[in-house]
Structure 1
Amino acid sequence: MSKQAFEMMMLVLLMAAAMSPLRAAAEAEKKETVTNLHFYFHDILSGKNPTAVRVVEPVDTYKSTTLFGVVMMADDPLTETPDPNSKLVGRAQGLYTSACQQELGLLMSMSFSFTDGSSISILGKNSAMNPVREMPVVGGTGKFRLARGYALAHTHWLNPATGDAIVAYNVTVIQ
């Protein structure tokens, strides 16, 4: 290697080493963004146009008071207020399953897709009979890319005969 090539290589290495602390400092100064969302999830199992349908039902489900083993596929509207006719802010699309034998405990795997094109992903247990349930936000897209956080769900209204429900969601998204 020529002396000139060696000196050029050393110069490049020194510049890269000098820039590394600057890049690390810039990354450290980035502030996390916290977004708080509030909306209503309308899970309608009855009527001509249900928004959630049973896609799997084990043979022995009728014996289980918790519906253990049932799998539901959902495309539920998300609205600004509990009124189903209020402004649509997105859709909750995915599935939930009855995954507990001792309680009505749902495993939620849902993408909450908002009208602006962004989304958040929720994956976790929803103890449906608890007054407030906490589930993790495990990712997102668009303005919520690389999101993490948590969702608090509170049943606003429930029809025990049909299973139809309106659930208030308060979501804290960090990215």
Structure 2
Amino acid sequence: MTKAVLICSTRLSLLLSLLAIFMTLSHAKLGTLRETSFTVFFQNRPSGPKATSVAIAGIPGQDWTYGKYGTAFATDAAMTEGFDRKTAEIGRGQGMFLTSAQDGTSLTLLLSIVFTGKEYKGSTLQIQGADHQYENPREVAVVGGTGQFRSARGYATFESFRVSKSHVVSRCNVTIQHY
């Protein structure tokens, strides 16, 4: 073995050892991996004076609706403990979605669940993925989180129920692993 190969081999061993120590310390700092499941209800108002989802962009000359390809929406909907909108608000569903399938059946969803209620106040979950809007239930990925849900990974299912023309309730079941 040449001197150069020996030096490279030694440096690689040292680097791998430091990496193993760093990873061990990172996991120790984060704590124990836990699993949490819960259900929340989004109180969506797609129309009217108190709309919680509004079209913000679309193809010029076309209607900006949920079923029209290329239409983007911003959303900020109350998240409650129960189906009835009068139950306690525990957070907000804030984000955007885009009708991304040319036939209008699928949205690309980017949603932050922002907890404001007692139990998880200050924590967030980040949801991202294809939302096949006419299917019930539909599943999207939980790709991150903060606070009590640091480094969250998992999934959320949504099932929507039309209460009236201007009120849709979406039940969201979340299952995540986090530190």
Pick which of 56-65 and 114-123 moved more.
56-65
Structure 2: distance between partners of 1:149 and 1:37: 12
Q: 1:123 aligns with which of 120, 128, 138?
A: 128
Residue 170 of structure 1 is matched in structure 2 by 173
**Structure 1 residue 52, shift from structure 2 partner:** 1.2
Matched, 1:143 2:144: no
Q: 1:40 to 1:64 in 2, by over 3 A?
A: closer
Matched residue SS, 1:62: coil
Using the alignment, how far apart are the partners of 2:56 and 2:91 within structure 1? 23
Alpha-carbon shift at residue 104 of structure 1 (Å): 2.1
- Higher mean alpha-carbon deviation, 53-62 vs 164-173, is at 53-62
Query: Match for residue 3 of structure 2?
Result: none
State the AA in 2 paired with 1:134: E
Q: How many residues align?
A: 153
Query: Would you say 1:76 and 2:77 are equivalent positions?
Result: yes
| Structure 1: runs of 5+ lacking an equivalent | 1-12
| Counterparts of 2:87 and 2:154, CA distance in 1 | 26
Q: Deviations over 1:15-34 (max 9, x none)?
A: x99xx6xx58x85xx64200
TM-score by length of 2: 0.76
TM-score (norm. length: structure 1): 0.77
Identity, in percent, stands at: 28
* Alignment correspondent of 2:42: 41
Matching residue's letter, 1:150: Y
Residue 110 of structure 1 pairs with residue 115 of structure 2: no
Cα distance between partner residues in 1 of 2:149 and 2:66: 38
> Bigger CA drift: 111-120 or 54-63?
54-63
Q: Which 4+ runs in 1 deviate beyond 3 A?
A: 60-65
Structure whose CA Rg is larger:
1
Query: What does residue 4 of structure 2 align with?
Result: none
C-alpha distance in 2, partners of 1:103/1:46? 19
Q: Is the alpha carbon distance of 1:76 and 1:58 closer, same or farther for their aligned partners in structure 2, counting shifts above 3 Å? A: same
Cα-to-partner distance string for 1:123-167 (whole Å, 9 max, x where unaligned)? 1011010111010000001001110000011113265x55x4211
Q: Deviations over 1:28-85 (max 9, x none)?
A: xx64200101010122122211111111121253399831111110111100111111
RMSD: 2.7
